[in-house]
Amino acid sequence: MVPFVRDAWPGVPAVLFGDLDPRGVEIAQTLLASWPGLGWFTPQLPAGVLARARSCAWPPLPEGMPATIARLAQAGRWVEQEDLIRESAILEALSRA
């Protein structure tokens, strides 16, 4: 079994902030299934981010996906986390997550 960070600090809250793309969704689903209490940071996209996002084809989404993921999938776009941290609104939201 692969050790998790959560095992070292079980009482510390954790938030996943990954790429908002099909592979990122797969990773999030795997981690959320095995890490009770893990948060998934999927912020609302500030104006202009969707227009600058990269194109990609999305598979059908599972039920219950966050609105941001559904919006990106519907638009056929994806965003890397590194692109999002340049947005001050995202940094403020992440600090509250």
Closest residue by Cα to residue 39 from 69, 67, 14, 10: 14
Residue 77's alpha-carbon distances to 27, 34, 55, 74, in angstroms, are 18, 28, 4, 8
State the pTM of this model. Answer: 0.81
- Better-scored residue on pLDDT, 97 or 42: 42
Q: What pLDDT does residue 37 have?
A: 86
Cβ-proximal residues to 69 (8 Å cutoff; 6+ apart), any chain: 20, 25, 42, 61
Q: Where are the domains of the chain?
A: 14-96
pLDDT of the residue at 1: 46
Q: Which two tokens stand for residue 31?
A: 């981690």
Q: From start to end of the chain, where are the E strands? A: 15-16, 39-40, 54-55, 77-78
The string of pLDDT tens digits covering residues 15-32 is 899 999 999 999 999 989
